[in-house]
Structures are given as C-alpha cells and as structure tokens.
Amino acid sequence: MPKIGSNSNKTNARGQIEQPASQKRDEKVSTPAGQDDKLKRNQDQFESPTPDRSATLLGATDSGPTVLGNPSEPVVMDKDKGLVTYQRQTGQLFVDGPSGDDVLQGSIGDCFLVGTLSAMAYTDPSVIRNAIKDNGNGTYTARFFEWAPGGAHKPVEVTVDSKLPMIADMPAYGASRSPDELWFPMLEKAYAQWKGGYQAIGDGGLAGDVMEAMTGRPATVSFVEQMSSSEAFDTIKAELQAKHAVVAGSSQDDSVRSVNIRPHHLYAVVNVSEEAGQKYITLRNPAGTEEFGNDGKDDGVFKMKMDDFMKHYYRIFTN
C-alpha cells in the first residue's frame, strides 16, 4: 500500500485541508513564471514560511525547549478585524478528560488542526493531556514539537493567557462542546500564537504538520485512489488499534455536497467495523454538525460503507 511522508505530496483544500506537495523545509519550492497569482487565486498555497518569532523568544538552549512568551494576543483573521475582542474565560482545562467530540471548528478554515486534535482525542487522549497544562495563574502552556535540521523534533513551549477571541458573547473561532472545558480553544490559540496568528492558520494547512507538532513523530499520507477498499480498511484498523490518530480528506469535487460532505475538508476517523460481511468506517466532521446520511443527530458523527468512503475521500493521514 503506497505511503509517503506527510511533508511531501500534500494537497491544498481551499482553507479546509492540506496544501499541495511541499519539499523539505530547507529546500526552495519554485513555480513557473506567472503562476504566483494563479496559485493565490486558487488558494493553492505551499507551506507558509515560519514567521519571525525572534521578538518573542524568551529562552532557547540546545538542551531545553524553545519557550515563547505572550507579548500580545494572536492576530485575528483579517475578515474579523474590528469585530473581535479578547475576553477572559473561566472553566476547567479538562472536563472528564479530552474527547474527540469536545472540539468544534469555528468560523475559520483550520479543519486541518481541529480534525487532527479531534482524532487524537479519540485514539489516545494522553497526547492531548500531555500537550497542555494549566499554570494556575490564569495562563496555559502548550508543548509542541518543531522540526529541526537533521530530522529531530525539538520541544517548543507556548504560553497564552485565558482570553479568547469573541464576537459579542460568542466564540469567534474554535470552541468546546462544553463551554466550561478549555483545552481545545487554548490549544488552538497557542498554535495560532506559535504560527503567527489566526490568519496564519485560518486558510488551510497541513494535517501532517499538526500531527508532528503534537507527537514529535513523522506523519504519513496514503492515497485512497491507489488502494483497494480492503486495503484502506485494514490500514485504518491497524493504525487505530495502535492508538494512532487517523484523519481523512474529503474529495475536492464540489459534488460531494450532494451527500452532505464538505469538499476539501478534513474529518477525524473514529473507528472501523464489519457487520454481516460489510465494512464500515465512522468519521466526525470537526464542525460538530452536518453528516453523511443525514441521520438527524446533527452532531457531525456518521457511519458509512467503505465503498462510499473510497468514492468521497482521497487522502488518509496517520501518525
């Protein structure tokens, strides 16, 4: 079953999912002359360059993690400037532990982040618990891993306060199913702070990068069109049994809307099952709403036959 590393051969998803193939981080990606404007119009971005964070570096040593301070709140989406205010939140970091159903994508195109965190909370909640802590003083520290020359992953600690971007009294971006649970919006905020603001993560990104940032392990992507239904089922089943996060990218064809699937969107894989000889896969829309089959629950979770999955999805990301 063909697989490649997540940092090569990735596909952009119109502010919703993975961007096209990106070469190694220390190599330059070139495009034919005159193509830059076309790429921008089509939202076919390559990996965005790492923002200059020198002004926020508090300390970095070869033996310890890079530590990022919090000189200001993350920059909001351009579309929301003048509408968003940061408001202090109260609650617990975790309520009954992290769950994949906790996360709700907001009005921002970061399903690559939200779907991946949801998948991780389903398969191995300890990844989430180990990634963020309450400092007990109104701040939270997230621990990510950053790729370094030589292929190593170095810890990066990002501290944020308890204020979240709000429009009136509603969350502007990601929220938790329970308003008293803070782990997801705080992780989203810390990731945005690390990458240069909500605008930097709000128009698509790489699920593989999020997986590596959360675990320090390389991610892989499988091409659905190069697999049989049984191969895809067996691959996903093995990854889930190993407690590895699995996410799936929906087709780029807008026609999938007719079956209530969002195109260019990343879905968390919850489980796979076999009933009376029929193979099924259960997925979750990170928006926490809209599902294939219109089962009336409107919770974003749905079960579909593997044959239907093969028609409507085109990439599988694992870590």
**Planar angle of CA 33, 35, 36, nearest 5 degrees:** 105
Q: How far apart are CA 133 and CA 143, in angstroms?
A: 9
Using 50, 70 and 90 to split pLDDT, how confident is the model at 151? confident
39-57 pLDDT tens trace: 222 332 222 223 332 222 2
Q: How far apart are CA 192 and CA 194, in angstroms?
A: 5
* Residue 91 predicted with pLDDT over 90: yes
β 3-5/220-223 pair status: antiparallel
Residues 6+ away with beta carbon under 8 Å from 93: 132, 133, 134, 140, 181, 182, 183, 186
Using 50, 70 and 90 to split pLDDT, how confident is the model at 67? low
160-198 pLDDT tens trace: 999 999 999 999 999 999 999 999 999 999 999 999 999
What is the model's pLDDT at position 68? Answer: 55
* Range with the poorest average pLDDT among 19-28, 79-88, 256-265: 19-28
What is the model's pLDDT at position 66? Answer: 53
- Within 10 angstroms of residue 61's Cβ, the number of other Cβ atoms is 8
> What φ, ψ does residue 133 adopt, rounded to 5°?
-140, 150
What is the model's pLDDT at position 24? Answer: 32
Mean pLDDT of the chain: 82
233-290 pLDDT tens trace: 999 999 999 999 999 999 999 999 999 999 999 999 999 999 999 999 999 999 999 9
Going from the N-terminus, what domains does the chain have, and what CATH number goes with each? 6-22+54-215 (no CATH), 220-318 (3.90.70.10)
Q: What is the mean pLDDT of residues 285-302?
A: 92
What is the model's pLDDT at position 92? Answer: 96
Using 50, 70 and 90 to split pLDDT, how confident is the model at 152? confident
* Range with the poorest average pLDDT among 24-38, 150-164, 261-275: 24-38
What is the model's pLDDT at position 64? Answer: 55
